[in-house]
Amino acid sequence: MNSTPDCFDCGLKQCERIARLCGKEEKIPALRQRLEEMRGQLDLREPPGTFTSKMLIATMEFLNERDPFRLIRAEQNQKGLELAERYDAELGDGEEALLAAIVGAAAGNVMDVGPRHRFDFAATLARGRLAHDDTNLLLRRLQEARRLVYILDNAGEALFDRLVLKRLGVPEVTIVARSTPILNDVTVDEARALGFEQLGRVIGTGSPYLGFDLNTISAAARQVYYDADVVIAKGHANFESLVDDGRDGFYLLTAKCELVARRLGVNLGNSVLFYSKGKG
């Protein structure tokens, strides 16, 4: 999925926010100039997550801040844990519980710091349904699957992914998180601290970028991705990275920008479990 010129403006706002978060507002004019100089080096043929990641990494280097969202991720994980535990107590077991957990995980995708629009988690969850719903196909595929890969997205919402993972019933599960901090994406160390190793093997992408960038992920991450019987990828950046790949996958997210909403065929703010057969 290619970037658009709007991706630069969105990335620029996010980079300026990082400067404010770090208490370095006085550096915003120089940061803006540095990023404008990068504009011609960025490739709109890249997925939005890759395009934006280059701006974010340049910003962190410019500000000498390795992990500006560390405290925000910790707060989001604590909030997500409290919300997910209450939701889990209502679900029970069985197929209906799995379906409800999927809806909750999709709604949880609004726990983000990146999009230009803001969405309310409680309102999104209260809809109780998916605007595009390929869960029946997922259930059929899970019955035959031996190897599953689940690619995590943001802190906080990852606790709702845990509710899905514990109900999937696949013998071999690999859970993928970010290898290094970027925005509020949950890192591999945080995923382990949150207990994901009780649900499967936890690995990092091996890439410094948002999403699951196929050009920079590790050989180990690439192998488990292509060897899996079923792939579930969470959130915008993973969708943008993978939807045009050669293999199939299930994408679980809420559409938080117009570009992704159009590609999914839903309205802004709608949640989906979207199956793509890739290039066959």
pLDDT in the model for residue 280: 66
Distance between CA 211 and CA 182 in Å, rounded?
A: 10
**pLDDT above 70 for 258:** yes
**pLDDT above 70 for 116:** no
- Across 40-49, b (16+ Cβ under 10 Å) vs e yields eebeeebbbb
Distance between CA 255 and CA 39 in Å, rounded?
A: 26
Structure tokens at 162: 């845990």
CB 113 within 8 A of CB 156: no
On whether the pTM is more than 0.85, the answer is yes
Structure tokens at 88: 């889990």
pLDDT: which is higher, 129 or 26: 26
> Beta strand 201-204 with 172-177: parallel, antiparallel or unpaired?
parallel
Structure tokens at 96: 């209906």
How many CB atoms sit inside 10 A of residue 134's CB? 17
> What CATH class is the domain 94-276?
alpha beta
pLDDT in the model for residue 4: 92
**pLDDT above 70 for 117:** no
Tell me what the mean pLDDT of segment 263-269 comes to: 94
Tell me what the mean pLDDT of segment 38-52 comes to: 94
pLDDT: which is higher, 199 or 125: 199
pLDDT in the model for residue 123: 76
Q: In what order do the strands lie in the sheet with 249-254?
A: 132-133, 271-276, 249-254, 230-234, 147-151, 172-177, 201-204
Per residue in 123-149, pLDDT (tens digit) is 777 777 899 999 999 999 999 999 999
How many CB atoms sit inside 10 A of residue 33's CB? 9
Distance between CA 219 and CA 223 in Å, rounded?
A: 6
Structure tokens at 49: 């997550």
